[in-house]
Structure 1
Amino acid sequence: MSRWALPWRGGGGVRQLLRAGTDGALDMLYPLLVLARGAARLASLARERWSRMPGEKRGPALFLAAACGLVLWLMPYGPALAAVSLVTAAAWYGRDRTGPAVHEVPGPAEDEDERLQAVYEALVPCFAMADDPHPEPMYAHDGGWERAFEDYEFCAEGRLCALLLRYPAHFRDGEPEERLRVERLLAAKSGRAREYRFAWDEEHNRLGMRALEPLPTGIGAQPFVTAPGETVLGFTDGDAVRRTVPVEVAELGAADMPPVVWRTGARSTEPHLLAMGTPGSGTSTLLRSVALQALRRGEVLVVDGDGGGEFACLAGRHGVLAVESSLPGAMASFEWVVRETERRLTAACRARQAGEQPPEEARRPLWLLVDRPAVLSHLARSEGRRDPQELLQVPLRHGRAAGVSVVIAEQFEGAEDLGQAVRAYTRARVVLGAVSREQARAVLGEVPQTGPVPQAPPGRGLARLGDGPVLRLQVPATPDPFDEGAGEAERRAVLALLPERVGVSGPVPG
């Protein structure tokens, strides 16, 4: 009996030998499997490239390939070099590219999958192309969201709060109307009661959407920590600006919040401000907040075109030159500002010619706050008088050099009556209230990255300073202290910031 026959008589020995032979054969065949897989992938890539190539280019491509093959065949070691290159490319494309998962994201739940599919199908009319030559287009009516959505996130309540998607290169992402169409659709499918930020990456054809947390509304009027020439218009998102200021927030206490700081003065590129809003949006609140900050270092002249007495609390205070609400008083105030601007320019010019610094009274900041100038223009036209906005050309044009800053607040219903000088020289812009993206773009000059606010609290809006980005804005609560409908704590905060009355030895509240 041969010694080689013993192992074959027991079943265990046979199974062990078969298992060992199979593992060894697989180990020996693995390089061939890699090369075969790589060759198949190279053939697939070549076939896809060939199918995409226009018909008029296929002939020259075949001729170029034949010429390269002939050159390789005739040159020394050419065939061997071509074979080595082909084997190397097949091994590279056939390698196992799965590797260990760096970040494994669990699949969506059933209801989440339905939400994503609904968003995908809603985007198909926006991104699909009728004559798409690709065999499996990115957006199709019979497609799935996995083709286009790269990342997503759902909130605790099960709503979509973040999404990163790809879109085809033929989409006209440079046209604001096309962008607005997609953004409105995404906001509607993700929930209208929230505000979203959209980030378009035109270079890589990516669109990111994220639901934003509401801005805090518990910040009232208070002395903000600012440098001369700086005014806090409100507060914005933490990732939008690089600066914070200490404030007192209702129900939270002391906190550091990111402000929207408007800089005025001789070095400012946006010395004047225009605030547009809807009724009750808080434009008068913004003017009162600016006035309280301006009175710390300068003088203020207020013209209340609406005549509603929103600024009566400033009358008779130190630093407040006048609070006018009638048309004759407004005309007289504007004429005085024109003369004062010219006087300051003359004094500064003479001082520079003499090599001296301009006098202190010519360098002290002067603020002209105008609320609802369109109403004054309407009254002037009805009485056959000169449009008072024409008098604003001098302080708007020369105010930066003269230390005069003009702040104008108007509602959208009176936007058409704003003068050309107001539109041209107010480079700092604020939009308050629940306005559409088109309205915000008309005022700010740029489409905001955030969608419209469905239910905007007073003082909530957008701001843009010069050519900077569009920022979300929440104006500090600065109500009229004589308004009994406002909160008691907020009214007292405004009274505490008011200067003392003229002719009174100490500060008298109210």
Structure 2
Amino acid sequence: MPPAGSSPDRRREALRAAGLTAVLRTPAALAALLARGAGRLASAARRWWRHTPRERRGPVLLTTAACLLALWLTPYGPLLGAVALAGTAAWQGRGRDGEGDGGGPGEAERARLQTLYEALVPHLALAGDPHPRPLYSHDGDWRRAFTGFAFTEEGRLARLRLRYPPHFGDGEPECRARLERLLRARAGRGREYRFHWDEEAGELELTALAPLPSGIRVQRFVTAPSETVLGFTDLHAVRRTVPVVAEGGERRDLPPVVWRTGPRSTEPHLLALGQAGSGTTTLLRSVALQALRNGEVLVVDGGGGGEYAFLAGRGRVVAVEATAAGALSSLEWVVRETERRLLAANRSRQTGRDVPEDVCRPLWVLVDRPSVLSHLARSEGQRDPQDLLQVPLRYGRAVRISVALADQFEGAAALTETVRAYTRARVVLGDVTPGQVRAVLGEAPSTTAPPEVPPGRGYVRLGSGPVLRLQVPAAPDPYDAEASESQRLAVMELLPEPAAAGRRAGP
């Protein structure tokens, strides 16, 4: 017996080990264990074969056949292979996820699973089902419907994989949302959940997610010159991590959401929408501080609140405009600069020379609250500043000109069709509904909203990729007295030196 003072995880592992030892003592139980493990291995092989592309199946089968041939020609190879296969089957056949001998769910866990099963019956049962043993019925057993589950040390449901009947409308968003709301309420509020629908197998997996880190400040991230860290997301969603320094000097490796720009990018321009105070301005400040490492930045502050005044007069900052007239002048310069770069790049390619350095230098055009600028320009009888963005949005990618816009949901209707069409990198911040996320990103998120939405929290989608959770790094205005001292110092450390006297930094 495990010691009484050990942790629940250690007690469960000890019970599983004791149960496996007891099973190995009886031939019938051993045969059942091997059969169960072989079935699981066969199921895993079928799932792999079903999800593997056709062009990868042939090389894998050829490699497997070569390994089996080498094993057959090796002395005692077949015997060793049989022993290894039996050991793998026995290990796979043991109780997992709270199942099996000696590791079954406790009384409270079984009651919770049965209660959840009974709550699913009205939604998944079919009236007059001719099947003799329906998957969901009022006198049914949850063991046939729930194929996998896991609980936390506090007894809360951490993961659940369930089967649903074929008649369930898994292709209808309303049916999905109804079932997700029920599972979220039964699994426990106050947490975020991810729902993964496997329509081919008829299974739904619910996973409780840990909250994203909200104390990361903007810093020099380890990225390529054409990469910008928009924020951080879940570890399973991306394939890389970057080292960061958290609050208190703690060093961590976090998975970033990397936005790639340049001539080879498929989403060279960005649009961020959110509510007031959701962090869209913070996102633009973070992008500007990262862009100043290798390029030039032009900022148009449509809100006129001085949120970008700390960038004025700094090196590689072309201009910081906060008026309608200044915005028009700056954007007209951006149009001429885009045309100049296009002509210079075309002339260089025709003559076989290298493209000039001033054409290859990245230029970032950051526009905050363009809807307000458009309203001010129309009221003064001037041209809409968004019309001037057509040239850099359409042709800027070829000459390393990227446009990033941020606005609030109230002004989203004032955005022009050109802005909507060419900003394929989208960010939604704040306490938003799945319908708002779908309207901006084109797809609803697979995760639920957090119980409390911190600043800079939202969702991101790059092009036609998946919708990911996002936490924007903290980049406050260093002149804001309400910001923390460590975050303000982090912003000041990333600022370039003031521009040299007499240098023409603006348009």
- The two structures have a TM-score, normalised by structure 2, of 0.77
Instruction: Report the Cα offset of residue 321 of structure 1.
Output: 1.0
> What does 1:55-66 correspond to in 2, within 5 Å?
none
Instruction: Report the Cα offset of residue 381 of structure 1.
Output: 3.3
Confirm whether residue 323 of structure 1 aligns to residue 315 of structure 2: no
Q: Distance in 1 between matches of 2:138 and 2:225?
A: 60
1:261 alignment counterpart: 258
Confirm whether residue 230 of structure 1 aligns to residue 227 of structure 2: yes
> What does 1:28-43 correspond to in 2, within 5 Å?
none
1:145 alignment counterpart: 142
1:437 alignment counterpart: 434
State the one-letter code of the partner of 2:108: D
Q: Which of these residues, 146, 164, 171, is aligned with residue 174 of structure 1?
A: 171
Q: Considering only aligned residues, what root-mean-square deviation do their CA atoms show, in Å?
A: 2.1
Aligned residues of 1:305 and 1:375 also touching (Cα < 8 A): yes
2:385 alignment counterpart: 388
Aligned residue pairs, count: 408
Instruction: Report the Cα offset of residue 186 of structure 1.
Output: 1.4
Instruction: Report the Cα offset of residue 498 of structure 1.
Output: 0.7
Offset from partner CA, 1:333-377 (integer Å, 9 cap, x none) = 221111111111111111111112221111111100011111122
Offset from partner CA, 1:394-436 (integer Å, 9 cap, x none) = 1111110121100011122222221111111111111212211
1:102 alignment counterpart: 94
Confirm whether residue 472 of structure 1 aligns to residue 464 of structure 2: no
- The two structures have a TM-score, normalised by structure 1, of 0.76
Structure 1 runs (4+) deviating above 6 angstroms are none
State the one-letter code of the partner of 1:334: L
Is the deviation greater in 445-454 or in 159-168?
A: 445-454
2:490 alignment counterpart: 493
- Describe the SS at the equivalent of 2:396: helix
> What does 1:31-430 correspond to in 2, within 5 Å?
102-103=94-95, 104-105=99-100, 106-251=103-248, 253-430=250-427
Q: Distance in 2 between matches of 1:110 and 1:252?
A: 44
Q: Distance in 1 between matches of 2:437 and 2:130?
A: 39
Q: Distance in 2 between matches of 1:426 and 1:383?
A: 28
Please list every run of 5 or more consecutive structure 2 residues that lacks an aligned counterpart in the other structure. 1-89, 503-507
Structure 1 residues 357 and 112, CA gap change in structure 2 (3 angstroms) = same
Q: Distance in 2 between matches of 1:134 and 1:384?
A: 72
Aligned residues of 1:176 and 1:447 also touching (Cα < 8 A): no
Offset from partner CA, 1:244-263 (integer Å, 9 cap, x none) = 22211123622222211111
Aligned residues of 1:435 and 1:453 also touching (Cα < 8 A): no
Q: Distance in 1 between matches of 2:450 and 2:255?
A: 20
- Describe the SS at the equivalent of 1:102: coil
Instruction: Report the Cα offset of residue 125 of structure 1.
Output: 3.5
Q: Distance in 2 between matches of 1:436 and 1:123?
A: 24
Q: Distance in 2 between matches of 1:384 and 1:192?
A: 52
Structure 1 residues 504 and 382, CA gap change in structure 2 (3 angstroms) = closer
Q: Distance in 2 between matches of 1:119 and 1:381?
A: 57
Structure 1 residues 139 and 380, CA gap change in structure 2 (3 angstroms) = farther
Q: Distance in 2 between matches of 1:157 and 1:277?
A: 35
Aligned residues of 1:238 and 1:258 also touching (Cα < 8 A): yes
Percent sequence identity is 66
Instruction: Report the Cα offset of residue 99 of structure 1.
Output: 13
Q: Distance in 2 between matches of 1:252 and 1:493?
A: 12
2:47 alignment counterpart: none
Is the deviation greater in 279-288 or in 378-387?
A: 378-387
